[in-house]
Amino acid sequence: MAYGFSKTSALPYERAVERVTEELKKEGFGVLTTIDVRETLKKKLNVDFDKYMILGACNPPFAYKALQAEEQVGLLLPCNVIVYEKSGKTVVAAFDPMSMTKVLDNDRVRLVAEEVKGKLQRVIDALP
């Protein structure tokens, strides 16, 4: 099942994290959580891992609409965007909110998911 969309970016990893954050802001998202997976795995398990960042993105007006339509939709929020290195290249991917509609049979959530997907797609598309 496809549950996200991605793009390989010409940006170096650190710049891609910054740029994704900037582009999310342009679309009305804030980053609620930032998880540096590499750092966390090193600290907790003492293992080495590639550069990998999870950004928990939230657009408050859309989150509010979704929560009004389905109070347990919070189990599927925030929308995660990831930035990671693979074979020396930077990959950026976003959760496809339309995936929620496979779990939730709710037309009001579907409408919100469609709008949020468009915003997240624009974030990914804006990257070089």
| pLDDT one-digit tens code per residue, 89-125 | 999 999 999 998 888 889 999 999 999 999 999 999 9
- At position 1, the amino acid (one-letter code) is M
- Domain at 4-125: CATH architecture: 2-Layer Sandwich (3.30)
Alpha-carbon span 105 to 83, nearest angstrom: 30
The predicted model scores a pTM of: 0.93
Domain extents in the chain: 4-125
- The pLDDT tens digits of the residues spanning 22-60 come to 999 999 999 999 999 999 999 999 999 999 999 999 999
The answer to whether the beta carbons of residues 106 and 127 sit under 8 Å apart is: no
Q: Does the N-terminal peptide bond of residue 12 adopt cis geometry, omega within 30 degrees of 0?
A: no
Question: Which residues, in sequence order, are CB contacts of 24 under 8 Å at separation 6+?
Answer: 30, 31, 55, 57, 81, 123
